[in-house]
């Protein structure tokens, strides 16, 4: 696996995964949490609550 994708192989192109012998779900798990999405949800909620606003 090239260094660029070593910590996030699920973002690698299929050809890179095939060359490395990685088969997502079969021999390498997909992430449980999408950290970008979770971070954005937190920032949205924190922005509302830290300003004292209501949703």
Mean pLDDT by 10 residues, the chain (55 residues): 91 95 89 93 88 61
30 found inside a domain: yes
pLDDT for res 16: 96
Residue that is written with structure tokens 């021999």 in the block: 27
The token duo for 35 is: 């950290």
Q: Which pTM was predicted?
A: 0.58
The token duo for 43 is: 């920032």
55 found inside a domain: no
Q: Count up the domains in the chain and report the number.
A: 1
Supply the range of the domain harboring residue 31: 3-50
45 found inside a domain: yes
Distances (CA, A) of 49 to 4, 36, 37, 40, 44: 37, 20, 18, 14, 9
- Coil, strand or helix: which one is 9? helix
């Amino acid at each position: 696996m090239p260094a660029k994708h070593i910590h996030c192989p699920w973002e690698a192109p299929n050809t890179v995964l095939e060359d490395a012998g990685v088969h997502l779900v079969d021999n390498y798990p997909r992430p449980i949490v999408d950290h970008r999405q979770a971070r954005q949800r937190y920032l949205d909620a924190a922005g509302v609550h830290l300003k004292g606003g209501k949703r």
